[in-house]
Amino acid sequence: MATQRTDEAGGNRAGAAAKSAPIHFIVEVLRGQAQVDFMPSALCGVFFAVALFVSGWRYGFYGLLGTALATGTAIVLGVNRDRVAAGLEGFNGCLVAVGFAVFLGADHASTWLLAAAGAITVTVVTAALDQVLSTWNIPTFTAPFCIIATVVIVAAPGFRRIWHSDKNLSAFPGVATGRTALTWHDIWHAFLGNVGQIFFMPQWYVGLLFLLGIFAASRLAGAMACLGSAVGILVAWTLGSPADSVAQGLMGYNSVLVAMALCGVFIKVNGWSVAYAVLGAAVATVLTTGMGNFTSTFGGHAFTWPFVLTALAFVAAVPSFPRLRRT
Amino acid sequence: MATQRTDEAGGNRAGAAAKSAPIHFIVEVLRGQAQVDFMPSALCGVFFAVALFVSGWRYGFYGLLGTALATGTAIVLGVNRDRVAAGLEGFNGCLVAVGFAVFLGADHASTWLLAAAGAITVTVVTAALDQVLSTWNIPTFTAPFCIIATVVIVAAPGFRRIWHSDKNLSAFPGVATGRTALTWHDIWHAFLGNVGQIFFMPQWYVGLLFLLGIFAASRLAGAMACLGSAVGILVAWTLGSPADSVAQGLMGYNSVLVAMALCGVFIKVNGWSVAYAVLGAAVATVLTTGMGNFTSTFGGHAFTWPFVLTALAFVAAVPSFPRLRRT
Amino acid sequence: MATQRTDEAGGNRAGAAAKSAPIHFIVEVLRGQAQVDFMPSALCGVFFAVALFVSGWRYGFYGLLGTALATGTAIVLGVNRDRVAAGLEGFNGCLVAVGFAVFLGADHASTWLLAAAGAITVTVVTAALDQVLSTWNIPTFTAPFCIIATVVIVAAPGFRRIWHSDKNLSAFPGVATGRTALTWHDIWHAFLGNVGQIFFMPQWYVGLLFLLGIFAASRLAGAMACLGSAVGILVAWTLGSPADSVAQGLMGYNSVLVAMALCGVFIKVNGWSVAYAVLGAAVATVLTTGMGNFTSTFGGHAFTWPFVLTALAFVAAVPSFPRLRRT
C-alpha cells in the first residue's frame, strides 16, 4: 500500500500536464483527507469528506480548510512534490482543524482563525519530524497533529479570546466505575464508532461512511480496520473498560489505525504481521486509557497519541525481527 | 565488562552443540535476570532468583516468568542470537513482571496475565529503542521496562478487572517533612535497601543477596554498586530527604545502577570515570525525587527512570570528553 | 552570525599565545553570558553582566559563577576548544545559576551550592544533547538549562535543606481572568520585559540593558529581538492573555529568542526567513502558555522550553523547505 501511494501519485503526475492546477490541487486535498487513514486515494477522500459533512456541515468545512491550508503551505514552502501529491502534507492539517472545531467549539470565529493558523503550522512540525524520523525510515504518523492539538488545547484556557468557558478541564484521573458488560447494541456501535472516532465522530453511520471509504481504496486496509476495531473492543472488555466509553468508540480508534499501519501499510502482509498488528492493537487500547489518564491532569487529551506511540515503536522495531519486512 | 558479556556468551555458544536446548534456555533466562544489574552471568542470576524467592515466592515466579517470556519472544521473533545469549532480551521482562506484581497485587489472576502480556510486549519496545539508540551506540538500559510499567500503572485505574482498589493514587507532590537525620540503623538498611529496591524489594537481607550476586559476577561491579549506594545516601542526607525514604532504599537505587553503568560497564575504568560515576550517582538521586514528584500527579511512579535518563545522558556525552572512553 | 561566532572566536584564538590564560578565560566567560542570546561577543557579555548586577548584585554573581563553572568544567573535561572559545559551554550554566537564585532564593547557602553543582552538571547534559542533535545539525539551544532547572525545581520540595517554604507550588492550571486590553504603559514595559525575562528579570531598564548588549554585538540580532518582542505582544493580545502577564514580559521572552534564532543566527536572512521567524515567534507565544499550564501541575515552570521546542522544530524542518537555508 505504501508503494500504491507513490504509484497512484506517480500515475497522476504523469498526466499532470493535461490537468489544470486547481483540479490537481483538489485531488491532492482529497488524498490528504484519505491519508488520515493511510489511503492515497481521492475516492476515499470523497467518502471521508462526505462523512464529515454528514456529522455536521461545519466539520466538513473545517476538514477541507485544514487539509487545503496544510497542503497549500507545503507547496508554497517548496516541500517535495511527491509528498504533496500523495496527500502526505494534508492529513495532519485536516485533523488539526476538525480537532479544534470539536474541542474549542466549531461556532467561534476564534476557532476558525486558530484552525487556519494550526493547519499552516502543522506543515513545519511535519517537516521537522520527517527530517528526524527519516533517520530510521519511520514516518511521522499523526504526531504533528497530536503535538499542535495538545499544545493548543492545553494553552487555550489561558487565552480569554480562545476559551469560551469559565473552567479548566484539568482533573486527576478517576477510577473506572459502572457497567463493563457489553450488549450487542454496544458492540456494533463500538465497532463503527472506533472508525469514526479517528475523526472525533461518535455516530455509527459516520463511522460506516469512513469504513466504506477505506474499503473503496483497499480491501486489505478495510479488513485490517475491522480487525483492529474488533481487537480494541475485545481488549477493552477483557480489562474491564466502562461500557459507555467502549460503545462510543473511545477505546478502539487507536487500535484501528495501529492494525492498518502494522499489516499492509508499513509492514508487508504475512501471518507474522497479522499477529504483530493484533498485539499492537491490544497495546494501543491500554495506552489509550493511559494517555487519557496522563493528559487529564493538565487539561490535554489522548488524541491519536496512543496510535502514534505504538506505531512508532512497532515500526521502528521491525529491523530487529527478520520475520517482518517493511513495505 | 561489556566485552565480558560477549566473551562469556561467545564461550557458551561455542559449546552450544553439546548442550540441550532447554539447558541453553535456562542459562539465558538466568543471565537475563542478572542483566538487570548488567551482569551477563548465570551464577549472578541464580543469586537474584533466590533473592526474589526469599522476598516472596510469588515474586520469584513472576521474575522467572517475565524473563522467560521476554527471552522466548525474542527467540521466536528471530532477534540477534548474541543479544539473547547475553541475557539482554530478558531483564526488562523480569522487571515488568515483578513490577506488576508489586504495584497491581501479586495474588490476582489479572496480574499474572498482564505480566505475561507485558513481558511479551517489552521485547518489541526493546527492539524499537535498540534500533533508535544504536545510532549513537547507546544501550536501552531499563527504558523498555519503565515505558511498559508506566503505561500500565497509569492506565490501570481505568480498567475494572485490573485495578482492585476504589481510589486512584494521583496526587500533587507534597513537601518533605519529618526527620532527616540518619541513624546507623537507617544507614546500613539504606545501603542494602538501595540494591534491593532495583527489584522493588526493601528488606536488607534481600538487598544483601543481590549484592552478593553482583560480587559473584564481578568484584569491580560490586564495588561500584557499594560506591553508588553510599553516594545516594550521602546526597539524600545532604539535601534533606526524609529519613524513612532513605532507610527503605527509595533514594539510592538509581545511584547504584548509575555508578555501575558509568564505571566499568559502559565506560572504561580510570580515575575520571570514577569521578564521573560519582557525579552521575548524585544527579540520579536528585532526579529520583524529581521523577517521583512529576509522576505522582498522574498516578505513575519513578521506577528506574532516574537511572535511565541519567545514564542515557552521561553515556551519550562520552564522545565529547576525551578523558573518558566507552568500553 | 553563526559564522561570526567561529570568526570572532578564531580571530581571538589566533592571538591566544599573546594572551595570558586568565584573560582568555574571562573573555570566554563573558562570551558565555552573551551566548544566552546567541552572541559570541565579550562586549555583549559585559552588558549582560552589568544588567544582572543592576537587577540585584547577587544575580550578577550567580550569573558569573554559573558561566565560569560550566566553562571551566568543559575545559577540564577536554571539550572541543572552539566550543569553549565561542562561549557555547557557558550560557546554560549562567541560566542554571541565575534560575536557581530566582526560584530557590538567592540568599540561601544551599542555593549557592546547588547552583555550582548544577553549572557543573549542565556541561554533561550539553555534551549529551550535542552528540544526539548533531545527527541533524541542530544545536542544543537552552535545552540543557531547561532540563537541569526543571529537574531541580520539581524535586526541590522533597528536600528539606533546599526548599525553604512549607508548600509545594503544584496546582491545576487556571482560566485566564481579568483585563486583557493593553495600555501604552503595558506595551512598552512588555517590549523591554520580554528581553529581560530571558534572564528572569522583569524590570524595563534591565531589559533595556540586555537589548543594548544585543545591538552592541549585532544590529540584525537587535532588530530581530525587537521584532520577536513585538510579535509576542501582538499574539498575546490577540488571543486574550491577561494584561499583567504581558506587561511583565512573561508572554514574549520566548518569541524574542525564537525570532533571533530563525532569522540570522541559524537561518540565513531573506524575506522567507523573516516570515518564518514571525510564525515561529507566534507559535512560541502560544507554547509559553501551554508549557506554563502543563508544568504547573507538577510544580515546574515554562523556563525557555517554549523557545527550545519551537526552535528545534523550526530549525530541524529547514532541509524540507528549499526557500530557507541554514547559516
ipTM of the shown complex: 0.93
Choose among B121, B159, B166: nearest Cβ to A239.
Answer: B159
Q: Is A77 on the interface with C (CB under 8 A)?
A: yes
Kindly report the average pLDDT of chain C as a whole number: 93
Q: Is the pLDDT of residue B279 over 50?
A: yes
Q: Is the pLDDT of residue A38 over 50?
A: yes
Show residues of chain B in contact with A312, CB under 8 Å: 128
What number of other Cβ atoms are within 10 A of residue C158's Cβ?
Answer: 27
Judge: C290–A79 Cβ closer than 8 Å, yes or no.
Answer: no
| Mutant choice from B154, B294, B301 vs A, greatest count of A C-beta within 10 A | B154
CB contact residues (below 8 A), chain A span 273-292, against chain B? 279, 282-283, 286-287, 289-290, 292
Alpha-carbon distance C4 to C40, whole Å? 8
pLDDT at A224: 98
Judge: A155–C317 Cβ closer than 8 Å, yes or no.
Answer: no
Judge: C162–B240 Cβ closer than 8 Å, yes or no.
Answer: yes
**Confidence band of A174 (pLDDT split at 50, 70, 90):** confident
Choose among A120, A159, A167: nearest Cβ to C240.
Answer: A159
What value does the mean pLDDT take over residues C9-13?
44
**Confidence band of A10 (pLDDT split at 50, 70, 90):** very low
**Confidence band of C169 (pLDDT split at 50, 70, 90):** confident
What percentage of chain B carries pLDDT values higher than 70? 94
Q: Is the pLDDT of residue B257 over 60?
A: yes
pLDDT at B167: 86
Chain B residue closest to A133 (CA)? B132
Show residues of chain A in contact with C312, CB under 8 Å: 128
Show residues of chain A in contact with C316, CB under 8 Å: 127-128, 131-132
Judge: A157–C293 Cβ closer than 8 Å, yes or no.
Answer: yes
CB B30 within 8 A of CB B60: no
What value does the mean pLDDT take over residues C196-205?
97
CA distance B303 to chain A (A): 16
pLDDT in tens, A235-250: 999 999 999 999 999 9
Range of lowest pLDDT (A58-72, B280-294, C5-19): C5-19
Classify residue B190 by its DSSP letter: H
What value does the mean pLDDT take over residues B173-186?
94
Choose among A135, A177, A242: nearest Cβ to B135.
Answer: A135
Q: Is B169 on the interface with A (CB under 8 A)?
A: no
pLDDT at B309: 98
Q: Is A295 on the interface with C (CB under 8 A)?
A: no
| Mutant choice from A75, A148, A159 vs C, greatest count of C C-beta within 10 A | A159
Choose among B135, B239, B321: nearest Cβ to C135.
Answer: B135
pLDDT at A202: 95
Judge: C127–B293 Cβ closer than 8 Å, yes or no.
Answer: no
Q: Is C152 on the interface with B (CB under 8 A)?
A: yes
pLDDT at A19: 61
What number of other Cβ atoms are within 10 A of residue B156's Cβ?
Answer: 28
pLDDT in tens, A128-147: 999 999 999 999 999 999 99
Chain B residue closest to A312 (CA)? B128
Chains that touch C (3 or more CB pairs under 8 A): A, B
For residue C274, what are the CA distances in angstroms to A128, B39, C224, C285? 18, 55, 9, 17
Judge: A322–B297 Cβ closer than 8 Å, yes or no.
Answer: no
**Confidence band of B19 (pLDDT split at 50, 70, 90):** low
Judge: A313–B124 Cβ closer than 8 Å, yes or no.
Answer: yes
| Mutant choice from B69, B114, B121, B293 vs A, greatest count of A C-beta within 10 A | B121
Judge: B128–A314 Cβ closer than 8 Å, yes or no.
Answer: yes
| Mutant choice from C294, C312, C326 vs A, greatest count of A C-beta within 10 A | C294
CB C299 within 8 A of CB C153: yes
Judge: A240–B125 Cβ closer than 8 Å, yes or no.
Answer: no
* 3-state DSSP of chain C: CHHHHHHHHHHHHHCHHHCCHHHHHHHHHHHHHHHHHCCCCHHHHHHHHHHHHHHCHHHHHHHHHHHHHHHHHHHHCCCCHHHHHCCCCCHHHHHHHHHHHHHHCCCCHHHHHHHHHHHHHHHHHHHHHHHHHHHHCCCCCCHHHHHHHHHHHHHHHHCCCCCCCCCCCCCCCCCCCCCCCCCHHHHHHHHHHHHHHHHCCCCHHHHHHHHHHHHHHCHHHHHHHHHHHHHHHHHHHHHCCCHHHHHCCCCCHHHHHHHHHHHHHCECCCHHHHHHHHHHHHHHHHHHHHHHHHHHCCCCCCCCHHHHHHHHHHHHCHHHCCCCCEC
Choose among B128, B160, B171: nearest Cβ to A317.
Answer: B128
Q: How far apart are the first and last CA of chain A?
A: 8
Judge: B155–A289 Cβ closer than 8 Å, yes or no.
Answer: yes
pLDDT in tens, A102-128: 999 999 999 999 999 999 999 999 999
**Confidence band of B259 (pLDDT split at 50, 70, 90):** very high
| Mutant choice from C151, C169, C295, C297 vs B, greatest count of B C-beta within 10 A | C151
Show residues of chain A in contact with B117, CB under 8 Å: 282
pLDDT in tens, B77-92: 999 999 999 999 999 9
| Among candidate residues A65, A87, A84, the one with its CA nearest the CA of residue A75 | A84
CA distance C241 to chain A (A): 5
pLDDT at C14: 43
Show residues of chain A in contact with C293, CB under 8 Å: 154-155, 157-158, 168, 170, 298-299
pLDDT in tens, A179-192: 999 999 999 999 99
| Mutant choice from C112, C145, C170 vs B, greatest count of B C-beta within 10 A | C170
**Confidence band of C103 (pLDDT split at 50, 70, 90):** very high
pLDDT at C19: 61
pLDDT at C20: 78
Show residues of chain B in contact with A287, CB under 8 Å: 151, 155
Residue B17 burial by Cβ neighbours in a 10 Å radius (0-12, 13-18, 19+):
exposed
For residue A213, what are the CA distances in angstroms to A48, A83, A257, C78? 6, 21, 14, 60
What number of other Cβ atoms are within 10 A of residue C179's Cβ?
Answer: 12
Judge: B317–C170 Cβ closer than 8 Å, yes or no.
Answer: no
Q: Is A174 on the interface with C (CB under 8 A)?
A: no
CB contact residues (below 8 A), chain B span 93-132, against chain C? none
Q: Is the pLDDT of residue A74 over 70?
A: yes
